[in-house]
Chains A and B, each alone.
Chain A
Amino acid sequence: MHESISEFIDRQNRKVARFGREAEAAAHEAYRKSIRLGQDLKLSSPGDVIRHGAQLLQDAEDRAARIASRKAEEVKAQAREALRGVAKNPVARSVAIDTARTAGNVAGVVRGGVHAVEGVVDGVTFLGRLVDPLDRLKSAPGQSAAEQLGRGVVNTGRMGVDYVRKGVADPQRVVTDVTNAAGQWRRELDPSATPVAPTFEGELRRNFNIGQNQGELAFDVGSLFVGGPAAKAVKGLERVSNVGNMERYVAQGFSPKAAAHLAEPYPEWGMGHHFIPRRMGLPESYSDSVFNVLKPEGISRGDFYELHYKVDPSYTGGSVKGEKWNGEALGLKKYGLAGRIWHGSPPPLKARVGGLGAGAGAVMYDPDDERKDR
């Protein structure tokens, strides 16, 4: 509820009256003190009383501020001293820098989330205006959502065409632009791309900022497809678990020993399938994160190998208790690009497209379709 003008004036008057009472009390206290100590304090009018009291209150406030400031300086000095201690010890220094970067990663993921929400809110508002038939009437000339959208499309298209034309005329310009963009990206994400800060504090700050950029990138890339993870997780529960189903693997031709191994749950320490392969050299904080690693819960080793074979062009098979596991020999077929993207992407990666494509995809998702190909 908003405050009216008269309520505001009343509140201000109450504040002044309270201050007046406090100033008067302070002045009277000072007067009593001066009588006790035999000092001369002349307050001949009510105005003198208020003025003197106000000065006393102001002095007390200044003193408190000075004490607080001194305390803050002491705490800062202690923190600097502790940092100097850490900086002298190479192991502690390295741990502190790593910790700063990890803290930055977390902060960056949060920042990414905040930016994403801002984007969604802006987008929803814009979409709301776009479908509002009265938007053109309510907006200033040329500022309706439809006109802005039209201008954006035309301008973007024109910029693209201009850029291609200039690029053809001067290919070096494109090379320079790409190099600059890549260089900037590297400076923002790679701690080795910028010089080490001259002070330990500066180095912590530098690593925190880089960590933040990495974290936000992880969020942005990781949440590209989002939208259906919850739905998929629920549907995933329908997956028939072959954990403990040795017979299935014996039927595939494995010895009881190897079949038992394949029927075990895929281990937690297993590397899983990397949606963007590790060889691409992405930062580990993203590459090994839940946004990039597919490792369904409750899946057996054997079933995971089968899924891995289908979604990963560079996975042919391996050795299981000294026996050959070859996806092709088992009659499996590799997915095409669309299948690889859909079945090979971890659920958290399907989290940002919101209820759009991924939501629709989640409805289409059938865990058993992986087996229908056999």
Chain B
Amino acid sequence: MILRQNVQFRSGFPHDGDDDLDVQPGRNIAEALGAALRQRGYRVSEPINGGDHGWELDVWRRRKRIWLQISVLAADECYLMTENMTFWLWPDVELFRAFLRDLQSVLAEDSRFCVTGWFSKGASASATELADAPLTP
């Protein structure tokens, strides 16, 4: 099974960055994602300012953590990166897969997200063929 943990999307959210204070946009996106994930039973942190990266969320299922980063380059080019932060010696792959499926449905259900495609960690969105789903056989 191929696992693609990053997603490129277009955003229907208003620009909420502040150039004078070097605050990147995307906080409103992080808040919306956090609320939707909470409804699916995850414990989610408040949006964390990731500096030049954008905004981050820590998402927990029980005591296991998944990290999520939102980078808004422009309304037509946003990125969502995820990382499985469960213990590296025995990563909980099943949990991560379930999370990616949930994330996929969250993005599909909110019309403000328009997913361009999913891609693997370390790959470049423009140099790789984007997939419709995070998990493909």
* Given contacts A279-B83, A325-B73, A328-B124, A319 and B24 within 8 Å (CB-CB): yes
Alpha-carbon distance between A325 and B22 when the two chains are bound, in angstroms? 13
Question: Could you tell me if B85 and A316 are in contact, using CB atoms closer than 8 angstroms?
Answer: no
Does A200 sit at the interface, judged by CB under 8 A? no
A-B contact list, 6 entries, CB within 8 Å = A279-B56, A279-B83, A314-B81, A315-B71, A318-B52, A318-B73
Does A191 sit at the interface, judged by CB under 8 A? no
Alpha-carbon distance between A328 and B8 when the two chains are bound, in angstroms? 14
Does B47 sit at the interface, judged by CB under 8 A? no
Q: Which residue of A lies closest to B24 (CB)?
A: A318
Alpha-carbon distance between A27 and B71 when the two chains are bound, in angstroms? 89
Question: Could you tell me if A316 and B73 are in contact, using CB atoms closer than 8 angstroms?
Answer: yes
Q: Which residue of A lies closest to B74 (CB)?
A: A324
Taking residues whose C-beta sits less than 8 angstroms from the other chain, chain A's interface range is 20 to 34
Which residues from chain A contact B74 at a C-beta distance below 8 Å? Answer: 319, 323-324
Alpha-carbon distance between A270 and B25 when the two chains are bound, in angstroms? 15
Which residues from chain B contact A316 at a C-beta distance below 8 Å? Answer: 71, 73, 79, 125
A-contacting residues, B76-128, CB 8 Å: 77, 79, 81, 83, 85, 89, 122, 124-127
Does A267 sit at the interface, judged by CB under 8 A? yes
Which residues from chain A contact B67 at a C-beta distance below 8 Å? Answer: 279
Alpha-carbon distance between A318 and B67 when the two chains are bound, in angstroms? 19
Does B54 sit at the interface, judged by CB under 8 A? yes
Question: Could you tell me if A318 and B54 are in contact, using CB atoms closer than 8 angstroms?
Answer: yes
Partner of A271, one of B19, B52, B71: B52
Which residues from chain A contact B72 at a C-beta distance below 8 Å? Answer: 318-319
Tally of B interface residues using CB under 8 Å: 31
* Given contacts A279-B67, A279-B83, A313-B122, A324 and B51 within 8 Å (CB-CB): no
Question: Could you tell me if B53 and A270 are in contact, using CB atoms closer than 8 angstroms?
Answer: no
Which residues from chain B contact A323 at a C-beta distance below 8 Å? Answer: 74
Alpha-carbon distance between A321 and B15 when the two chains are bound, in angstroms? 11
Q: Which residue of A lies closest to B53 (CB)?
A: A315
Alpha-carbon distance between A153 and B79 when the two chains are bound, in angstroms? 49
Does A326 sit at the interface, judged by CB under 8 A? yes
Pairs A-B, 6 closest by C-beta atoms: A271-B51, A324-B74, A324-B73, A279-B67, A317-B73, A318-B24
Residues of A within 8 A of B (CB): 178, 261, 267, 269-272, 278-279, 305, 308, 313-326, 328-329
Taking A271-B51, A316-B125, A317-B73 as known contacts, 10 extra A-B pairs with beta carbons closer than 8 A to each other, sorted by chain A number, are: A279-B67, A279-B85, A313-B122, A314-B81, A316-B71, A319-B17, A326-B73, A326-B77, A328-B124, A328-B127
Alpha-carbon distance between A178 and B88 when the two chains are bound, in angstroms? 13
Which residues from chain B contact A261 at a C-beta distance below 8 Å? Answer: 19
B13-55 vs A, Cβ < 8 Å mask (1 yes, 0 no): 0010101001011000000000000000000000001111110
Which residues from chain A contact B51 at a C-beta distance below 8 Å? Answer: 270-272
* Given contacts A313-B122, A316-B71, A326-B77, A308 and B19 within 8 Å (CB-CB): no
Q: Which residue of B lies closest to A317 (CB)?
A: B73
Q: Which residue of B lies closest to A305 (CB)?
A: B52
